[in-house]
Structure 1
Amino acid sequence: MNLLLAAIAPVFAIILYVYCKDEYEKEPRRLLLYNFLLGAIVSILIATILYYGSDAIIKFDDEFSIVQQFFKAFLVVAIIEEFSKYIIVRYFAQPNKEFNEPYDGIIYAVMVSMGFAATENIMYVLEGGYQVALLRAFTAVPAHATFGVLMGYFMGKAKFTKHPSKYNLLGLFLAVLFHGSYDFFLFINFIPGVWIGAFISLGVGIYLARKAIKKHQKNSFFKF
């Protein structure tokens, strides 16, 4: 039980932070819960199916190949995981009438991402223990949240523009770009010290995510 709490605590801390940043028109908690559960269950299932499919098609047989690890990070892991989240936001959250201002793109994308992160984190922490829980609380979990904010920023813009596909796909692209960058530097850890690139990438992502939150707050339809 304590390990389970350690696994989900950072997830709910981030959810609370993003929820409190929704200053002018809170989303229905039931709808937020639905998005979280869809991320925790459906997104994980989609990702698992796609991983099995990719394993049958693509073989990465040299763990010390920078090129192979690049393709694995960007074209397998990042695309599969971010697409599995994107599909929920795009076809469940975004069409909902409660999705009525740009910031909603951020909060729903984060809810789906945190659902995904919760399931993933529970599996890793139950296997690896408290040390893994502590490490992931400051790395993988905030990383998933950051990718969610970046995706959601543009998906929030997409709902209120004449060119929604452009902004939706831009959000997906940005999430894949930062996810792939983060994973790539971790995958090539056979090069001493290169892992620092993952934290630089995450730091840049967090900086942009905070700017994205402030911008949508500033432009809220309900501010006045």
Structure 2
Amino acid sequence: VAGMLAVPPALFLEGIAKDIFQSGFYLLLAWATIEEVVKYLGAHIVAFRSVCLDKSRCVDEPIDPAIYMITAALGFAALENTLFLLAPIGQGSFTAGLITGNLRFVGAMVLHVVASSSIGLAMGLSFYKSAWAKRIYFLIGLFTSIVLHTLFNVFIILSEGDNVFVVFGGLWIAVLVVLAVFAVYGLQFLLFWRYLRGRRESKIGYRGQGTAFREKEKLTFCFPFQ
């Protein structure tokens, strides 16, 4: 939902950018910047500010920011793809709409996931770091997402689709990298959870009490820009 809510303001700002830059590389860069920033703001405001008042409960693991960002990206891409499909279908060309939908799925959908996951993974890598480190990592993640988005636009639009399969192949390789990072995060979480469980059991045995002794490991997370 957060990603879908980000589509209307993104379209409005992209219209302004088109009036300013008309066409060319700077227009593609502006579009990429607008979409990545708006997607992040949608996830930040809706997922963290409005729905989840206790941020420490919604973001209590390093992988959480990436999950929220990818979810927002999927919502954004779903509504954006739907709007792209309405034009050919509205003109009575169902076949063209079907082809457009398939290309949008293997291209734009994957692009949004990879780009937004760059921001989320960067935030996750700085989970236990200082506030300034979180800001730096966030900016690196945002810069990476904008670069990836811009390169996709350049290769697809300016090359008139000549490199479409090369670009799509690169995107899917990026997806494999993201999945590998998720696997590493999952393994780290499993090992950390087993470590905490072992500590708790050792404390219970040491105290020799009939009731369980609970130790809370408080993990705090602050957003890059409060």
- Regarding TM over 0.5, the answer is yes
- Specify the alignment match of 1:181 in structure 2: 151
- Specify the alignment match of 1:99 in structure 2: 59
Q: What one-letter code is carried by the residue in structure 1 that aligns with 2:122? A: F
Q: What one-letter code is carried by the residue in structure 2 that aligns with 1:124? A: F
- Specify the alignment match of 1:217 in structure 2: 186
Query: Whole-Å Cα distance in 1 between the matches of residues 147 and 7 of structure 2?
Result: 20
- Specify the alignment match of 2:128 in structure 1: 160
Identity %: 24
Q: What one-letter code is carried by the residue in structure 1 that aligns with 2:27? A: K
Runs (5+) with no aligned partner, structure 2: 50-54, 89-96, 195-226
Aligned counterparts, 1:14-93, within 5 A: 37-41=1-5, 43-60=6-23, 68=24, 70-73=25-28, 75-93=29-47
Query: Whole-Å Cα distance in 1 between the matches of residues 8 and 101 of structure 2?
Result: 23
Query: Whole-Å Cα distance in 2 between the matches of residues 91 and 159 of structure 1?
Result: 19
Aligned pair in 2 of structure 1 residues 158, 140: CA closer, same or farther (>3 Å)? same
| Superposition deviation, residue 139 in structure 1 | 1.8
Q: Which has the larger radius of gyration?
A: 2
**Is residue 70–residue 113 contact of structure 2 (8 Å, CA) maintained in 1?**
yes
- Specify the alignment match of 1:198 in structure 2: 167
Greater RCO, CA 8 A, separation 6+: 1
Aligned pair in 2 of structure 1 residues 134, 200: CA closer, same or farther (>3 Å)? closer
Q: 1:143 aligns with which of 111, 114, 135?
A: 111
Count of aligned pairs: 177
Q: Alpha-carbon deviations, 1:115-161, whole Å to 9, x = none?
A: 10111011112333222222222222122112222221112233432
TM normalised by structure 1 equals 0.70
Runs (5+) with no aligned partner, structure 1: 1-36, 61-67
TM normalised by structure 2 equals 0.69
Query: Whole-Å Cα distance in 2 between the matches of residues 130 and 157 of structure 1?
Result: 39
| Superposition deviation, residue 196 in structure 1 | 4.0
